[in-house]
Amino acid sequence: MKITLKDGSVREYQQPMAIIDIARDLSEGLARVACVGVVDGETKDLRTVLDHDCTLNICTANDPEGLAALRHSASHVMAQAIKRLYPSTKLAIGPSIADGFYYDLDPETPFTAEDMEKVEAEMKKIVKEAFPIERFTLPRQEAIEFMKERQEPYKVELIEDLPEGEEISFYRQGEFVDLCAGPHLMNTKDVGKAYKLMSLAGAYWRGNEKNKMLTRFYGTAFGKKAELDAYITMMEEAKKRDHRKLGKELGLFMMHEAGPGFPFFLPKGMVLKNTLLDYWREIHRKAGYVEISTPIILNRKLWETSGHWDHYKNNMYTTVIDDEDYAIKPMNCPGGVLVYASEPRSYRDLPLRMGELGLVHRHEKSGQLHGLMRVRCFTQDDAHIFMTPDQIKGEIKNVANLINEVYSLFGFKYHVELSTRPEDSMGSDEDWELATAGLKDALDELGLPYVINEGDGAFYGPKIDFHLEDSIGRTWQCGTIQLDFQLPQRFELEYMGADGEKHRPIMIHRVVFGSIERFIGILIEHFAGAFPTWLAPVQVKVLPISEKFEEYARSVEKTLNDAGIRAETDGRSEKIGYKIRSAQMEKIPYMLVVGQKEEEEGLVSVRSRFAGDEGQRTLDSFIQMIKEEIASKTLRETVAKDKKEDK
């Protein structure tokens, strides 16, 4: 039996071997930290016996597969602890997820934060008891009876949904048994000490709001305590940066029960939003785009032609007008197609780049709504590019460079994924192969590293997704480039070629910000509300030392506003120290303190969020300085929070 390892080396064994024994043969140290093995691309328990030639990657908690198994095993340890403490609790599901794990449960009485502490303490006992985690299987009917005996109705329902004749997989650790496909670690002690329960939430059974609301225990686990500590620190920082909290404190936006998932932008939030949109228009004008606007409601026939009615109907809001079905648009692309088709086109007109800041509506489940990050209506910074086949690569490169320009401006790092054909796709194999190759070639020529995300493309074409990283290391999928051969065919789009014949254009769908609302939420958290000067809703706060100097302060404010600088005056009867602290809390980039000397000499005393006291200067020189900063969209760094002058 030949085992090909990750580094390409080959080990030969004369008899079948368990993965854990192969790990010991390679290194005792590896065997101690091994979590799972990936055999010919499939993740397996370490107890799995190999009896044939194969590839093998033995994974630790430093690998995605190993970390997932560690977290999955931690979810079982948590469920075991809950069943010990609250035996009447019914088990639903408990998978590993991107940042940890969860378990959905149906308790007899509601859980509280105090219960989390008790459960975590019981988990420590289970880890110390070092139960072997062992897999066994039962025939389907026996598995159903087994779970009925254990009074686990949710598990019974899950098994009943599985095909007839299938062997059902279970895992046992001590007195605890769970329906599970695995894989898992070998022993509860291997879960280690680097785990923590994070929060409680509600979750509908099987994600269906018509089903019973269960309680979801969230937790996380890592291979090392230092990694857990770093994650907890990041989560604490994330709470401070929560855009919902800062959005309220800074007067940017609000939500209301009159329209769940439909955000209200407040005056300062509108300044922020419009500044972003002005920037969007500026860079798109330079990049050769024209701007269009298409209707928010269009008839059912259009959405059937585009394919959205079949592929996206459950997420669309519909209405009836003059006895005809209409839908509020969830995407802008069909409207853009109609604009293209509104007049004859020539190859000389291509590429035609049409941008649209279109308001779209999508039905999201109430439990998935989250501030500006997950809403039911948002402005999408769409653009649709119509082109000839030989223009594909160049246009994709142009869009990628535009996205890079925008993300670099905000200080975002990012990585790229290429998503390929999904199961519910439409179109021919030939079109999909050509489209996918076009995206790959463009990425290769740009030298952009990327990973393949199999089967996650749009139903009409493959796509490139840009995942940006914020200031505390979280990633967000925002920009996307989608290549589409299907809509031009379905709408029978044409252009007259140089040969005098009619040809079918190819279409790119792309966004840079994605959802403007979501991007604003990301920016709030990325900058912790302390926006760069060009983006700040209020760029300067004028602070008179006393009421005697308010008139001068108001004249300074007017001069600033006349110069195109967003300024306000704090005319309250408060001490100057209080006003300064208030402006700092509001994340104002610049404060201009004015008193008798400033008024007599036509000066302003400048304090900034970036460097504290910056000294006195003339108002004209300050205006020149800040206008240059705004025009260049500079990202100035802020001084340390404990700097004495900011105390």
Instruction: Say what the pTM is.
Output: 0.84
Q: Residue 183 in contact with residue 44, Cβ under 8 Å?
A: yes
Residue ranges covered by each domain of the chain: 2-60, 65-240, 257-295+330-526, 540-646
pLDDT attached to residue 642: 40
Class of domain 65-240: alpha beta
Q: What are phi and psi of 55, to 5 degrees?
A: -95, 145
Instruction: Give the catalytic positions in this structure.
Output: 333, 362, 380, 382, 384, 463, 509
Q: Strand 540-544 vs strand 590-594: parallel, antiparallel, or unpaired?
A: parallel
Q: Is there a cis peptide before residue 351, judged by omega within 30 degrees of 0?
A: yes
pLDDT at 638: 64
Q: What pLDDT was estimated at residue 640?
A: 44
At 646 the pLDDT is: 41
In this structure, what token pair is assigned to residue 41? 């691309």
Would the CA dihedral through 102, 206, 361, 512 be positive or negative?
positive
Neighbour-count burial of 344, counting CB atoms closer than 10 A to its CB (0-12 exposed, 13-18 middle, 19+ buried): exposed
Going from the first residue of the chain to its last (647 residues), give the mean pLDDT of each consecutive group of 10, the final group possibly shorter.
92 95 95 96 96 96 96 98 97 94 95 94 97 96 96 96 91 97 96 95 88 95 96 92 95 95 96 97 97 96 90 90 94 95 96 96 86 94 94 92 94 92 83 86 90 85 90 88 89 96 95 95 94 97 96 96 97 95 96 95 94 94 96 78 40
- Of residues 505, 472, 470, 508, the one with CA closest to residue 382: 508
Please give the Cα distance from 311 to 320 (Å, whole number): 20
CATH T-level topology, domain 257-295+330-526: BirA Bifunctional Protein; domain 2 (3.30.930)
- Please state the separation of Cα 204 from the chain's center in Å: 22
- Give 259's DSSP letter: S
* Topology classification of domain 2-60: Ubiquitin-like (UB roll) (3.10.20)
Per-residue pLDDT, 639: 54
Instruction: Give the per-residue pLDDT at 166.
Output: 85
Helix H, strand E, coil C: the string for 37-50 is EEECCEEECCCCEE
DSSP 106-165: E-SS---HHHHHHHHHHHHHHHHHT-B-EEEEE-HHHHHHHHHHTT-HHHHHHHHTSPTT
Q: For residue 163, is the peptide bond before it cis, meaning its omega torsion is within 30 degrees of 0? A: no
At the second CATH level, the architecture of 540-646 is 3-Layer(aba) Sandwich (3.40)
